[in-house]
Amino acid sequence: MKNSKGYFGEFGGAYVPDQLKTVLNEVEENFYKYIEDKEFLNELNYYYKQYIGRENPLYFSESLTRKIGGSKIYLKREDLNHTGAHKINNAIGQVLLAKRMDKKRIVAETGAGQHGVATATVCALFNMDCVIYMGQVDVKRQEINVFKMELLGAKVIPVSSGTATLKDAVDAALEDFVVNSANTFYLLGSAVGPHPYPTMVREFQSVIGKEARKQILEVEGKLPNYVIACVGGGSNAIGLFSAFENDKNVNIIGVEPAGKGLNTKLHAASLCKGTPGIIHGFKCYTLQDENGTPLPTYSIAPGLDYPGVGPEHSHYKHIGRATYESITDDAALEAFMLLSKTEGIIAALESSHAIAYAIKLAKTLSKNDIIIVNLSGRGDKDIYQIKEILSLNKTLM
Ligand SMILES: *Cc1c(COP(=O)(O)O)cnc(C)c1O
């Protein structure tokens, strides 16, 4: 769904001050130029292969399939990428673009720290100065990721304004970007934000879906009945979904975090429970109060904890091209345990939401049906948190 003005139906756009618009226009112009440039694409593919380790497998999850006793479940193994998740696909793409634009300095925001680590990684690789803005509260919560970023040579700046979390980190990064735009590039981590970011991030993540579509045709000789991914900002999901957008018989399902339940305030299900509004300079479904102020959100999975969602997902929902479901903390944790024990794969808590939904769905389908689930990342980062939860709740073991 390309749209040069950056709209997906009524969603997206760039609701930002003029100064920022000027800077975004420069990014947009260069993005559209290089995304068609053969040399740029060759370089991108080189790093996808040699640095990230693509293509990664589309793994037939045979033990899980047998255990569930419904449709076949395939896992797209983004967890096997260098740094252990899909975020590096986008970080590599944007840093290569920054290099072409002669920028020597990268700024980024991070909440849970995963995007900060991916950004610090590519900055180390390309010898870029790297500044990561992170809410003071998150700096404390995500000590290990802060340490990783520093090991990689990045400077982590704690932000203490507002609620001292992701939203405030975004504001600080944008301000830096505007002030220092002559030598600085803003490397955004999900398919959100003002145009051109949602389109750009989708393009750099679309490798997930292109590979998966080719791989399933190779092994099964037909397309899947369902493609499923978890949705935080929506980058791993749109990366998978975009390749199947025009395959009308492929059902697309995004899975949002229901936290403690959609009937509580403790969730982050923007598409399931939100209303259209403007957040961080773009229009999407968002969890907001009657004055349009973003509501606090919650999920067991730090990467899904965001009150907005990508504009393209908002449009998919609006036109009915995709459906958006939700999975609670408890169900995600159960899927996390089941995948660990049946397949020997410790998945990220974010990805476990998609797996949980796939398991539920697979039970209702026939043996000839096929589901592809995006395993967006590995769970190493989550094991301390899970150990603590399990020690309080022995029944899950
Ligand atoms: C950050 C993250 C997500 C959520 O981000 P999206 O932009 O929605 O993909 C999902 N899975 C993992 C492993 C992550 O690190």
In order of start, what are the domains of the chain with their CATH numbers?
A: 16-48+87-197 (3.40.50.1100), 55-84+206-396 (3.40.50.1100)
Inter-residue contact 56 to 77 (CB < 8 Å): yes
pLDDT of amino acid 359 = 98
pLDDT of amino acid 2 = 47
pLDDT of amino acid 380 = 94
At 168-186, the pLDDT tens digits run 899 999 999 999 999 999 9
Q: What are the residues whose beta carbons fall under 8 Å from the beta carbon of 61, sequence distance 6 or more?
A: 73, 74, 75, 343
**How far is residue 369's CA from residue 171's CA, in Å, rounded to a whole number?**
45
pLDDT of amino acid 142 = 87
- Residue 291's nearest CA partner among 271, 310, 277 is 277
Helix (H, G, I), strand (E, B) or coil at 259: strand
Tell me, what amino acid is at 185?
F
Residues present in the chain in total = 397
In eight-state DSSP terms, residue 190 is S
**How far is residue 188's CA from residue 192's CA, in Å, rounded to a whole number?**
8
Closest ligand 1 atom, residue 239 Cα: 9
> Ramachandran region of residue 230, left (φ > 0), alpha (ψ -120 to 50) or beta?
beta
Cα angle for residues 327, 58, 71 (degrees, 5° grid): 55
pLDDT of amino acid 4 = 59
Q: CA gyration radius for the chain? A: 20
Q: Which two tokens stand for residue 81?
A: 């990428």
Tell me, what amino acid is at 144?
I
pLDDT of amino acid 1 = 45
Residues annotated as catalytic are 87, 109, 376
Closest ligand 1 atom, residue 85 Cα: 13
Regions of the chain with pLDDT less than 70:
1-4, 394-397
Q: Which two tokens stand for residue 28?
A: 């947009």
Q: 229 CA to middle of ligand 1, Å?
A: 10
Inter-residue contact 271 to 313 (CB < 8 Å): yes
| Residue of 203, 353, 376 to mutate, ligand 1, most atoms within 8 A of C-beta | 376
Q: How far are the Cα atoms of 36, 76, 247, 322 from residue 224, in angstroms, in the given order?
A: 29, 13, 10, 15
Q: Which two tokens stand for residue 169?
A: 């980190």
- 3-state SS of the chain: helix, strand, coil percent to 5? 50, 20, 30
pLDDT of amino acid 163 = 84
Q: 370 CA to middle of ligand 1, Å?
A: 23
Closest ligand 1 atom, residue 114 Cα: 15
Which residue's CA lies nearest to atom 3 of ligand 1?
A: 303
H helices of 78-179, in order, are 87-100, 114-125, 136-141, 143-151, 166-179
Q: Which residues line ligand 1 (CB under 6 A)?
A: 85, 87, 114, 190, 230-237, 303-304, 348, 350-351, 376-377
| Residue of 190, 285, 357 to mutate, ligand 1, most atoms within 8 A of C-beta | 190
Q: How far are the Cα atoms of 32, 47, 310 from residue 38, in angstroms, in the given order?
A: 12, 14, 28
Instruction: Specify the DSSP element, H or E, that contains 392.
Output: helix 383-392
- Neighbour-count burial of 63, counting CB atoms closer than 10 A to its CB (0-12 exposed, 13-18 middle, 19+ buried): middle
